[in-house]
Amino acid sequence: MTDDAAAAWPPLALERLSAAVTVLAERAETQEARAQLHGLAGILRNLGGEHAGAHERETLHAELASALAAEDEARAVTAMRMLARLDRAVVRPVDWTAASGG
């Protein structure tokens, strides 16, 4: 049995939903509505993605906390850099030009 078969209704891909909201944004009449819908599209595209890489993140959190406690700057900067890279890597792009300008 697949995950889909166990679902109460057919699952919806967030990427697909996000693309549809982007299309809707382009049809919105006001600049404000277009900007809001582009923002929503970005949120939908990333929904639930914040836990990606959780295990590696926990390890890096611990390493960073340890380095800060020891005031070991070189270790802290290395851990901070790796953690920041990991957190950024899981973000799917948001069209901020459209979201900020409509």
Partner 1 sequence: MADPRPEVAAKLSDWLRARGEEVPVEVLERTTVGLSQETWLVRVGTADAVLRLPTPSSGARAILSQRQALDAVAGHPVCAPKLLWSDDTAENPFERPFIVMERIHGDVPVGWHHLAEAERLAVARESMDVLAALHEIDVEATPLAGSDPSPLMTLQGLIRLFERVAPLPPVLEAGLWWLVRHEPPAPQRRTIVHGDFRMGNMIVADGHLVGVLDWEMAAPGDPLVDVCWNFIPLWTLAEVDEPPLLDLYASRAGIEIDPEHVRWHRALGYARLSYYMMSGLRAFDRERSDDLRLAAFRLQLPVLLDRLAATIAGEPVT
Using CB under 8 A as the criterion, which residues of the chain lie in contact with partner 1 when the complex forms?
Answer: 32, 35-37, 39-40, 42-43, 46, 61, 64-65, 68, 73, 76-81, 83-85, 87-88, 90-91, 94, 96-97, 99-101
Minimum CB separation from partner 1 for residue 54, in Å?
Answer: 14
Phi, psi (degrees; rounded to nearest 5) at 16: -65, -45
Cα 60 vs. chain centroid, distance in angstroms? 19
Separation of alpha carbons 44 and 94, rounded Å: 10
Q: Which is nearer to partner 1, 23 or 65 (CB)?
A: 65
